[in-house]
Amino acid sequence: MSDFKLWLEFEEVNPDNWQINNDFCNINVELADGRKYGINVWTYEFLKTTVEYDKTNGNNLEGLYVIPPDLFVKELTRSCIEKTIEDLLKIGNLEVVLNSSIVIKNNIKL
């Protein structure tokens, strides 16, 4: 079993109204040593949805670019995200493996 706690927005906020393959959410990861991370997560399909939305609505120079999240996953499920975080932690510290903007120190997002 993993050595971290995981809070998933889609479980807490309107849990019956998420598209597991085409949506985005925020998650919090708390490690046993006290480090905490706030991570913005998108599904692969949501990237396509975002680009199409921007083209239609003229955002981001009509879809010329997208400001990405911290992490992409196949689906928004606890299983998928737990496995992902476990694997990333095997690679290294999340503040090194992922975009450093996700690090939270003393409740201040850097």
How high does pLDDT run on average in the chain?
91
What phi and psi, each to the nearest 5 degrees, are found at residue 88? -60, -40
Look up the pTM and report it: 0.85
Q: Is the CB of residue 43 less than 8 Å from the CB of residue 15? A: no
Polymer length of the chain: 110
**Residue recorded with tokens 């706690």:** 5
- In which domain, by residue range, is 49 found? 4-109
Q: What confidence tens digit (pLDDT) does each residue in 50-66 have?
A: 999 999 999 999 999 99
Is a pLDDT exceeding 60 seen at residue 35?
A: yes
Is a pLDDT exceeding 90 seen at residue 90?
A: yes
User: pLDDT tier at 34 (50, 70, 90 boundaries)?
Assistant: very high
Find the Cα–Cα–Cα–Cα dihedral 68, 71, 76, 79, rounded to 10°.
170
Scanning the chain, the segments in alpha helix (DSSP H) are: 9-12, 44-57, 60-63, 78-91, 94-97
Split into its structural domains, the chain has a count of 1
